[in-house]
Amino acid sequence: MIRYRSYLLTFLSAFIVLGSWEIAGRIPVSYSFPTFVETITAFWVLLLDGTMFVAYGETLKPLVVGVLISAFLGIGIGLTIGLSKKFDWLLSPVFVVMQTAPLAALIPLLVMIYGIGLTSKVFVVCIMAMPVIVLNTSGAVRNTPASIIEMGQAFLGTKRDIILKIILPAASPIIFAGLRLGVSAGFIGAILAELKITPTGVGDIISYSRSIADYPSMYAAIMSIILLAVIFLNVLERIENFLFKGTRQGYASE
């Protein structure tokens, strides 16, 4: 029974939330708030006629490109910041500001510079995803236990050996956690870009459904984003647990 307790609690939580949604839609709390059954019906209609697949074909382009760029650049910059106090002093404040500032305000500027195409959307994903990756990576590198670094130096390890064989393995769990948080922020950036720059993909379904008062379809599109993000992040969490055998370390930044 204990083995299935987590699944039982998850099911119970989902039942309470979805049941409350259905009741709130039937009252209704608002005429623009559909029931859960209406939303699920609209979701299957969008799925079966292929609209959802076409939409995600557009939405995933900037998301995948932006997350890959953020991962490679973010880890590289984070390593540099973590290993160098000069770069820490120079670059860390920039990414701290990026993480806390309302970056949606920069979207009009990006549109003026790069237009309304894929490039602007990729930039939005990057500015949302990269700060958390950089800060987690730099924090993980900076907080590598000094004792194991000193041990590597005592065994005459070169600087390259210490970085590749000591610091990176020790920092890997938190770096991977930063990637997971970066992907989560990337999802937000991708949808934000579609809503603020040009309505394409899932953002187009949301905008168009809202304009014609087709609220079940609008909520179905929003629900699909949440489901995809939850599934993807759970997959990454399982990969993290497999790679690092469930090691739990605190995040450098959340």
pLDDT of residue 24: 87
pLDDT of residue 41: 92
Q: Does residue 230 register a pLDDT over 80? A: yes
Task: Classify residue 197 as exposed, middle or buried by CB count within 10 Å of its CB (0-12, 13-18, 19+).
Answer: buried
pLDDT, mean of residues 224-240: 83
Could you tell me the pLDDT band of residue 245, with boundaries at 50, 70 and 90?
A: low
pLDDT of residue 251: 40
pLDDT of residue 250: 44
Q: Does residue 236 register a pLDDT over 90? A: no
Question: Going by C-beta distance under 8 Å and a sequence separation of 6 or more, which residues neighbour residue 66?
Answer: 121, 122, 123, 124, 125, 126, 129, 186, 189, 190
Q: Does residue 216 register a pLDDT over 70? A: yes
pLDDT of residue 141: 84
pLDDT of residue 174: 84
Q: What is the pTM of this model?
A: 0.77
- Round to whole Å and give the CA distance between 98 and 168: 25
pLDDT, mean of residues 56-67: 88
Poorest-confidence range of 43-47, 66-70, 183-187?
Answer: 183-187
Q: Does residue 40 register a pLDDT over 90? A: yes
Angle (CA) 68-239-161 rounded to 5° is 70
Which option is the CATH number for 35-244: 1.10.3720.10, 1.10.3470.10, 2.60.120.1440, 3.30.1490.20? 1.10.3720.10
Could you tell me the pLDDT band of residue 3, with boundaries at 50, 70 and 90?
A: low
Could you tell me the pLDDT band of residue 42, with boundaries at 50, 70 and 90?
A: very high
Question: Where along the chain do its domains lie?
Answer: 1-33, 35-244
pLDDT, mean of residues 77-104: 82
Could you tell me the pLDDT band of residue 249, with boundaries at 50, 70 and 90?
A: very low
pLDDT, mean of residues 97-114: 76
Mean pLDDT of the chain: 82
Q: What is the 3-state secondary structure (H, E, C) of 138-202?
A: HHHHHCCCHHHHHHHHHCCCCHHHHHHHHHHHHHHHHHHHHHHHHHHHHHHHHHHHHHHCCCCHH
Q: Omega of the bond prior to 28 within 30 degrees of 0, cis?
A: yes
Poorest-confidence range of 56-60, 130-134, 167-171?
Answer: 167-171
Say which amino acid occupies 77: I
Q: Does residue 140 register a pLDDT over 50? A: yes
Nearest partner of 200 among 47, 67, 51, 45, judged by Cα = 51
Q: Does residue 111 register a pLDDT over 90? A: no
